[in-house]
Chains A and B, each alone.
Chain A
Amino acid sequence: DAGVTQSPTHLIKTRGQHVTLRCSPISGHKSVSWYQQVLGQGPQFIFQYYEKEERGRGNFPDRFSARQFPNYSSELNVNALLLGDSALYLCASSLDPEQLGELFFGEGSRLTVL
């Protein structure tokens, strides 16, 4: 079975631009979470979605938004990019939010902002 897939794997943007990152969860998984991993640090929680509803939001500015589609795939959008947004963006899926902490991660989308 396919794992969590993310696209694109790498991308380069300039300050002020917008980016959309995509994630397909493992088949049958209905919950998707997004994390930001800055180089040398642990992942930080951005959003969790379940059944297309936002279940939780981390301490990120409103420039960050996300949504989940009827097929449970998800998009993360970041507007007005800053240099500090350069990071590895990780998507994770689970059967449902009650699978506490048992997440399956994709390999991530590496964003570089110049």
Chain B
Amino acid sequence: GNSVTQMEGPVTLSEEAFLTINCTYTATGYPSLFWYVQYPGEGLQLLLKATKADDKGSNKGFEATYRKETTSFHLEKGSVQVSDSAVYFCALIGMDSSYKLIFGSGTRLLVRP
């Protein structure tokens, strides 16, 4: 079946450091890929998405590239801020089940001043 695997956290960084959160997936065909973010006390928010191979999703300085050959969708940011502290979820929608998002287990990011 379809699944998403994320690196375990927490990831602790100093402000202005470079961020990578790894995400790999298993799916038949060409799923659509997403990153959602959950800030403390808030609901999940869509951060970015990519719907086909080699697409790059970007938002708020975050980027992720859909890599079909490595079945990956790693999240990156060049310079993190304290306000980026949150839990980040990688997710996919499969071609065979377009009504449901399949989430990874989440990666907590802590950014220290």
Which residues of A are in contact with B by a Cβ distance under 8 Å?
3-4, 33, 35, 40-45, 48, 55-56, 58, 90, 92, 97, 100-108
Known interface pairs A3-B43, A107-B43. Does A45 touch B106 (Cβ–Cβ under 8 Å)?
no
Q: Are A4 and B43 in contact (CB under 8 A)?
A: yes
Known interface pairs A56-B99, A97-B99, A101-B34. Does A108 touch B43 (Cβ–Cβ under 8 Å)?
yes
The SS class assigned to the B binding surface is strand
Q: Are A56 and B44 in contact (CB under 8 A)?
A: no
Most chain B beta-carbon contacts within 10 A, residue among A40, A43, A44, A107: A43
Chain A residues within 8 Å of B93, by CB: 100-101
Q: Are A106 and B100 in contact (CB under 8 A)?
A: no
Interface residues of B in 93-110 (CB under 8 A from A): 93, 97-106
Q: Are A101 and B32 in contact (CB under 8 A)?
A: yes
Chain A residues within 8 Å of B103, by CB: 42-44
- Asked if B42 is at the interface (CB within 8 A of a chain A CB), the reply is yes
Chain B residue, CB-CB nearest to A49:
B99
- Asked if B49 is at the interface (CB within 8 A of a chain A CB), the reply is yes
Chain B residue, CB-CB nearest to A42:
B103
B99 contact from A4, A41, A48, Cβ within 8 A: A48
A100, chain B: closest CB distance, angstroms: 5
A45 contact from B44, B101, B104, B105, Cβ within 8 A: B101
Chain B residues within 8 Å of A42, by CB: 4, 89, 91, 103-106
- Asked if B79 is at the interface (CB within 8 A of a chain A CB), the reply is no
Cα-based distance from A4 to B45 in the complex (angstroms): 12
Given contacts A42-B104, A43-B89, 19 further A-B contacts (CB under 8 A): A4-B43, A33-B99, A33-B100, A35-B101, A42-B105, A48-B99, A56-B99, A56-B100, A58-B100, A90-B44, A100-B32, A100-B51, A100-B93, A101-B46, A101-B92, A101-B93, A103-B101, A104-B46, A106-B43
